[in-house]
């Protein structure tokens, strides 16, 4: 008898076909964003779950689903998982690192460029029919080549952005991280480690790529924004909640920093209303990893984690491997 799994959000048809070779699969073809109670209703009799970052797995859900043994997240981030609760109840969590690194770094740099060169503002201006003459300062932004690129969070994606800046645009790269990279990796990224204070004060373009946790909540708030240059830009491709969106909107409105590019938001898919009214911000709906090849690779790795677990008792990319040892 095949194990029962729930695919909690819509995914590629070929992923469902692949999973169906190994499991009794229930899907969510309408792609509804279920409440916790609705999720439990569908998950209660399942052995495993294929989840995305919008599917919250907490102790309340786990308590109501005692058969559940694994949740495979189709994302590198996993702040939708209460890992401590999952570990306490013997439920494995997995994610999809590596396969989205380069695509996400590409997007991070694209968002940086759009923000620095004021692409969104200028497109809105053109579409509104306001462009009727040339002027010397029309949407004059800031240069990227030769500028100082600051990176907060220097994991795989941060390193990818650093290399794009250093090698492609001749940028001076500085970074801050919980732990410093080894000398060889710093040399490969052409990056210099600095304090967070120096990072904020020095960067012309600051990119956030750190994981979300209670410790990183509002890592960029009013006090941090006040330390940045008035000509600086801020890009967040990490997670909502790392930036205090209300404080950022106010700083943008008051031109205390030049511009921001945001792919993630507190409470998404809702966006802070003030961010929708300021012109000097580029907004995208959490699509940094959204290329077709990469999203298919993410779906395949999440599926393979489920198959590996039920066939061999292990996960390919476990988040709480102590569960396997137990």
Verify that 61 and 197 share a domain, yes or no: no
Tokens of 156: 């795989």
- The 10s digit of each residue's pLDDT in 232-286 is 999 999 999 999 999 999 999 999 999 999 999 999 999 999 999 999 999 999 9
Kindly report the CA angle at 276 between 260 and 288, in degrees rounded to 5?
50
Q: Which residues have C-beta within 8 Å of that of residue 215, sequence separation ≥ 6? A: none
Share of the chain above pLDDT 70, in %: 100
Is the predicted pLDDT of residue 326 greater than 90, yes or no? no
Rounded Cα distance between 201 and 207, Å, is: 13
Q: Which of 26, 60, 102, 268 does the annotation list as catalytic?
A: 268
Tokens of 264: 């993630």
pLDDT band at 325; cut points 50, 70, 90: confident
Q: Is the dihedral of CA 292, 298, 301, 305 positive or negative?
A: negative
Verify that 33 and 49 share a domain, yes or no: yes
Q: The domain containing residue 36 runs over which residues?
A: 4-97+292-325
Would you call 286 a catalytic residue per the annotation? yes
CATH of the domain at 177: 3.40.50.720
Verify that 227 and 245 share a domain, yes or no: yes
Output the pLDDT for position 177.
96
Verify that 56 and 146 share a domain, yes or no: no
Q: Which of 176, 272, 286, 295 does the annotation list as catalytic?
A: 286
**Structural domains in the chain (count):** 2
pTM of the model: 0.93
Would you call 239 a catalytic residue per the annotation? yes
Q: What is the mean pLDDT of residues 316-324?
A: 96
Q: Which of 117, 118, 205, 239 does the annotation list as catalytic?
A: 239
Q: Residue 316, Cβ neighbours under 10 Å: how many?
A: 16
Verify that 255 and 303 share a domain, yes or no: no
Share of the chain above pLDDT 90, in %: 97
- The 10s digit of each residue's pLDDT in 66-121 is 999 999 999 998 999 999 999 999 999 999 999 999 999 999 999 999 999 999 99
Verify that 119 and 264 share a domain, yes or no: yes
Verify that 108 and 90 share a domain, yes or no: no
Verify that 266 and 131 share a domain, yes or no: yes
Q: List phi, psi (to 5°) of 256.
A: -80, -20
Verify that 226 and 137 share a domain, yes or no: yes
Verify that 138 and 151 share a domain, yes or no: yes
| Mean pLDDT rounded to a whole number for the chain | 97
- The 10s digit of each residue's pLDDT in 132-163 is 999 999 999 999 999 999 999 999 999 999 99
């Amino acid at each position: 008898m095949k194990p029962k799994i729930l695919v909690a959000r819509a995914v590629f048809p070929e992923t469902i076909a692949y999973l169906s070779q190994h499991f009794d699969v229930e899907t969510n073809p309408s792609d509804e964003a279920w409440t916790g109670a609705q999720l439990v209703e569908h998950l209660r009799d399942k052995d495993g779950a294929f989840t995305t970052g919008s599917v919250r797995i907490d102790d309340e859900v786990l308590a109501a689903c005692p058969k559940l043994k694994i949740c495979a997240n189709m994302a590198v981030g996993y702040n939708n998982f209460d890992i401590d609760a999952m570990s306490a109840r013997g439920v494995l969590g997995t994610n999809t690192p590596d396969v989205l690194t380069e695509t996400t770094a590409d997007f991070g740099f694209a968002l940086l460029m759009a923000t620095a060169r004021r692409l969104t503002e200028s497109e809105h201006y053109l579409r509104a029919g306001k462009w009727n003459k040339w002027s010397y300062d029309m949407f004059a932004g800031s240069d990227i080549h030769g500028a100082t690129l600051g990176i907060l969070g220097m994991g795989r994606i941060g390193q990818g952005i650093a290399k794009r800046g250093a090698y492609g645009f001749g940028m001076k790269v500085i970074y801050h991280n919980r732990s410093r990279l080894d000398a060889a990796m710093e040399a490969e990224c052409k990056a210099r480690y600095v304090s967070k204070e120096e990072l904020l004060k020095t960067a012309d373009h600051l990119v956030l790529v750190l994981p979300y946790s209670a410790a990183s909540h509002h890592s960029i708030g009013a006090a941090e924004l006040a330390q940045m240059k008035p000509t600086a830009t801020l890009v967040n491709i990490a997670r909502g909640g790392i930036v205090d969106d209300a404080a950022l909107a106010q700083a943008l409105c008051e031109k205390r920093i030049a511009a921001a590019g945001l792919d993630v938001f507190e409470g998404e898919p809702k966006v802070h209303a003030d961010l929708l009214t300021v012109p000097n911000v580029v907004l995208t709906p959490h699509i940094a990893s959204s290329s077709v090849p990469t999203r298919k690779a993410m779906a395949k790795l999440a599926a393979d984690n489920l198959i590996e677990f039920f066939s061999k008792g292990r996960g390919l990319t476990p988040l709480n491997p102590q569960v396997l040892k137990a």
